[in-house]
A = this chain, B = another copy of it.
Amino acid sequence: MEALFKSYSENNEAVLRAIAHMPTQSLPVLIGQDFVQGLTDADYMRIAVYLAQKSDEEGGCPIGAVIVDNTTGQIVGKGHNTLIQEDHPYNHGETSAIRDAGRIDFSQTTLFTSLSPCDVCATLLYMRGFSRVVVGDVTNAGGNEALLREKGIQVDILEDKLGIEQYAKFRAEKPDQDLEDWQGLSAVKNQCG
C-alpha cells in the first residue's frame, strides 16, 4: 500500500492542514517518508498553526504545538489548547502535544509552538529535557525564551504570519478567555472586581 501523501512539493498547504487533523499514530501510514523528509521548519510551524486554527473553530484558544523526532523528522506528538473543549484549566498547546507523545525521550525531539510558552509550559519544556524549541509568535506573547536558553535548550524564533494574525484576532474578540488561559479564572474575576 502506498501512503496517501507521497512526495513533497512546494504547494502543500491543504496537506499540512490535513496533517493537523489526523491521528498522530496514523501519520506513518498516511504520510510517506519522502514527504516527511521534504518538510521544513516553516511547514512544521504551519501545522502547529493549523492545530491552533482547529481549536479556534471549536470555540477554543488558538494555540497549537507539534513535536518532531530530530532524526526521522516524523511527528511524534501534536495538539492544541483545550481550555474550552475539555473544561481543562491548563491544557495548552505544549502540554497537549507532550501528552499526545506519551513517555518518550524528549531530548531527541524539537517542539514547535504557535505561541511563546507560558511559565508552566516553559518549566515543563526544560524539566522534560527538550533539545530544541521553535516559537512561532513572539509578537502576542514572549519572555520565556531567555529562561529556556538559560536551561540549555536551543530556541529559534520562526514567526508565522497566519498564526500571529489568528491569535491577535482571538485576543481582541475574547479577552476574558485569553486571560483565563494564562492566569486562571481568579485573574478574570479580579479585573472585574
Flag the segment in A24-32, A38-46, A98-106 that touches B.
Answer: A98-106
Which residue from B83, B99, B118 sits with its C-beta under 8 Å from A127? Answer: B118
Is A128 within 8 A of B184, CB to CB?
yes
Which residue from B90, B101, B102, B184 sits with its C-beta under 8 Å from A95? Answer: B90
A129-B183, A184-B127, A187-B129 known; A98+B90 contact, CB < 8 A: yes
Is A89 within 8 A of B118, CB to CB?
no
CA distance A127 to B182 in the complex (A): 8
Is A106 within 8 A of B186, CB to CB?
yes
CA distance A108 to B90 in the complex (A): 17
CA distance A106 to B108 in the complex (A): 36
Which residues of chain A from 103 to 156 have a CB within 8 Å of any chain B CB? 103-108, 118-120, 123-124, 127-129
Is residue A88 within 8 Å, beta carbon to beta carbon, of the partner chain? Answer: yes
Is residue A185 within 8 Å, beta carbon to beta carbon, of the partner chain? Answer: yes
State the interface size on chain A (CB cutoff 8 A). 33
Is A103 within 8 A of B183, CB to CB?
no
Chain B CB within 10 Å, residue with most, of A95, A98, A118, A127: A127
A119-B127, A127-B120 known; A185+B106 contact, CB < 8 A: yes
Give min CB distance, A8 to chain B, whole Å: 30
CA distance A95 to B98 in the complex (A): 14
Is A185 within 8 A of B104, CB to CB?
yes
Is A124 within 8 A of B128, CB to CB?
no
Residues in chain A within 8 A of chain B (CB atoms): 83, 87-91, 95, 98-99, 101-108, 118-120, 123-124, 127-129, 180, 182-187, 189
- For the complex with contacts A90-B128, A106-B186, A129-B187, 12 further pairs of A-B residues with Cβ separation under 8 Å are A88-B99, A89-B98, A89-B102, A89-B103, A90-B98, A104-B185, A108-B186, A119-B123, A120-B124, A120-B127, A127-B183, A129-B186
